[in-house]
A = this chain, B = another copy of it.
Amino acid sequence: MIELHLRKLRARDDISAEEEAAIRDAVSCTRSYRPDELVVPARQQTSGCTLLLAGIMARYKDLRSGERQITELHVPGDFADLHSFTLKKLDHHVTALTACTVAVVPHEKVQAITERFPHLARVYWFQTNLDAAIHREWEVSLGRRTALQRLGHLFCELQARLALVGLADATGFDFGLTQSEIAECMGLTSVHVNRTLKELRERELVEVRNGRVSIQDLQGLQRAAEFDPAYLYLEKRGG
């Protein structure tokens, strides 16, 4: 059930059997969410962290105009709000974009684990720093990349993150977001996303259709989007 999460952790660090047992023990209950259902509201006290098992979630902030900016997408195996352990109240909302199932880990369990296993504390600290690295890369997209590069980069990022947990290969991945939601990620309008997807299709780089991102030319896409996966820290580290 939390296999994808362990897979994600073990892609970067060694996790002992004892540590694994502690993580498994920490999961209290599971829940399901429908598309567009709010999972964690901003500004409210939180009491646990949400481990995404299936589906796509998003962190977002909204503006007075009614628009919203999605600041990160979450894929299975991710904690959507591990930072709620230290922040207690979030500065953003967390919502399910597609149908999702999650496991909940109470903050006390996180505290117990991190105090008993300082190594796991660093592993999870690392995971929140990885979120920050993803935020930084999105800042680059939002600030300096063209619409074509933004979408290309987003698909490259998702391909890499999903491949890490076995949910994508070089030919693509399932991806049920609407063009409006993609627009909310990349600071564009849905109309412009539509035109840009058309261009990506015409250039024979990616095709997005029927809830699937079909990558025709991964290398070409990465080149066009100036994608360098280093910020995702995909390689195994010291231990």
Contacts and interface: CB of A to CB of B under 8 A. Distances in A.
Contacts of A115: 118
A181 to B, nearest CB: 13
A105 to B, nearest CB: 16
Interface stretch (A22-30, A123-131, A155-163, A171-179): A123-131
Copies in the complex: 2
A92 B140 CA distance: 11
A125 B132 CA distance: 12
A35 interface: no
State which size class the interface on A falls in: 35 or more
Contacts of A114: 118, 121-122
Interface stretch (A62-70, A95-103, A205-213): A62-70
Contacts of A131: 132
B136 A230 contact: no
A168 interface: no
Interface string A195-239: 000000000000000000000000000000010001101000110
A71 B126 CA distance: 19
A86 B142 contact: no
Interface in A138-161: 138-140, 142-145
B118 A86 contact: no
Contact of A63 (B88, B140, B142, B231): B140
A133 interface: yes
Contacts of A1: none
Contacts of A88: 237-238
A71 B230 contact: no
B136 A59 contact: yes
A69 B139 CA distance: 8
B86 A125 contact: yes
Contacts of A63: 140, 144-145, 226
Nearest to A230: B91
17 contacts: A61-B137, A63-B145, A67-B144, A71-B140, A83-B129, A83-B132, A85-B122, A87-B129, A87-B133, A91-B133, A91-B136, A91-B233, A121-B121, A125-B125, A125-B128, A135-B136, A135-B139
